[in-house]
Amino acid sequence: MKFFIRVLQAALFLAVVACSQQPVVQQGNIISNSNVVLSTAPAYYIGVDDVLQVNVWKNPDLSVTVPVRPDGKISVPLIGDIQAGGKVPMDVAAKVRKKLTKYIREPQVTVILTELHSHEFVSRIRVTGAVQSPASLPYRQGMTVLDAVLQAGGLNEFASANSGKLFRKASDKTDQYSLYLRDILNSGDLETNYELMPGDIISVPERLF
């Protein structure tokens, strides 16, 4: 009996070790493989003309959808003006929550960006080179390389499809990643169908004749 228990313990130990050695792969190709890690999106700071949805749980009369004024502030019922410009939504929600505690017990507040206007050109996706219609596209969460290329009309007849590049600004430098667009379009190989981030640039060169 003791021998059987020892064998079982050893088998469990080996199984745990084997699992810990498996490579981690995230869906959506934000991480494409164990060697190439793409940077995450930077925090979005609210700006003038952005539209915010302020939700106060169980208090619909205090929940509003409002634009950010030129002075960077928004107006919330009961508590008046709140500074939103230059802050992230979580910080605005915390400020609203703090002010509402004078009137409501333990208010639960969420702030959601519903329209992004102030960072329109900073956050756009550019598709250049050998595509049907080079384009500057508004960023949408979940957008991938394939989405952007299709919105640009797809590749043209001169494209060197497996020589594409994705350029991404990262602090004080620009990172670049290879794109195998022919494999994505013709073979369904989505390894380089990266999820895009605001400001990304996709470049498709022409093939050499």
One fold for both 51-115 and 121-204? no
User: Domain spans of the chain?
Assistant: 51-115, 121-204
Query: CA-to-CA distance for 114 and 116, rounded, in angstroms?
Result: 7
**pLDDT tens readout for residues 110-153:** 999 998 888 778 788 999 999 999 999 988 889 999 999 999 99
Does 6 score more than 80 pLDDT?
no
**Residue from 120, 146, 123, 140 nearest 202 by CA:** 146
Give residue 41's pLDDT band: very low, low, confident or very high (50, 70, 90).
Answer: low
Domain covering 121-204: architecture: Roll (3.10)
Q: Is 82 exposed, middle or buried (0-12, 13-18, 19+ CB in 10 A)?
A: buried
Check: CB of residue 139 under 8 Å from CB of residue 125. Answer: yes
Chain centroid, CA 202 distance in Å: 16
- From first CA to last CA, the distance across the chain in angstroms is 74
CA-to-CA separations, 111 to 13, 37, 116, in angstroms, rounded: 47, 30, 14
Give residue 170's pLDDT band: very low, low, confident or very high (50, 70, 90).
Answer: confident
2's enclosing H/E stretch is helix 2-20
Q: Token digits for 139? A: 């960023």
Sheet hosting strand 51-56, strand order edge to edge: 64-67, 51-56, 109-115
Q: Token digits for 206? A: 């022409």
Range 51-115 has CATH code 3.30.1950.10: yes
The pLDDT value recorded for residue 109 is 97
Query: CA-to-CA distance for 17 and 54, rounded, in angstroms?
Result: 48
Q: Token digits for 156? A: 């043209």
Across the strands, what pairs with 75? 81
